[in-house]
Amino acid sequence: MAKKQTFGEKVGQAKRSAKNQLKLIRSGRSNKGTLRFYEEIVQVPDGKNADGYVKELLSKGN
């Protein structure tokens, strides 16, 4: 069987999809009072600015 997709095409697709993702790290207090860090991967919608989208997320979270 012949390959339908080359390795270069796979890598190109991964780079395009990863471009719209960023890691958001939040801090908070645990039940014991210690500082905790929570991280999540956020998908930025097409056509939106990453900075504006993060500010929007943080304002909704508070």
Pairing status of strand 21-29 against strand 35-43: antiparallel
Asked whether residue 18 is domain-assigned, the answer is yes
Tell me: pLDDT of 18 over 70: no
Asked whether residue 44 is domain-assigned, the answer is yes
pLDDT in tens, 26-38: 999 999 999 999 9
- Alpha-carbon distance 38 to 42, whole Å? 13
Structure pTM?
A: 0.57
pLDDT in tens, 37-47: 999 999 999 88
Asked whether residue 6 is domain-assigned, the answer is no
Asked whether residue 34 is domain-assigned, the answer is yes
Number of domains in the chain: 1
Percent of all residues in the chain with a pLDDT value above 90, rounded to a whole number? 56
Asked whether residue 3 is domain-assigned, the answer is no
Residues spanned by the domain of 19: 12-61
Asked whether residue 41 is domain-assigned, the answer is yes
Tell me: pLDDT of 5 over 90: no
**Mean pLDDT taken over the chain:** 84
User: Which residue has tokens 């997320």?
Assistant: 57
62's tokens: 């508070």
Q: 24 near 42, Cβ under 8 Å?
A: yes
Asked whether residue 39 is domain-assigned, the answer is yes
Asked whether residue 20 is domain-assigned, the answer is yes
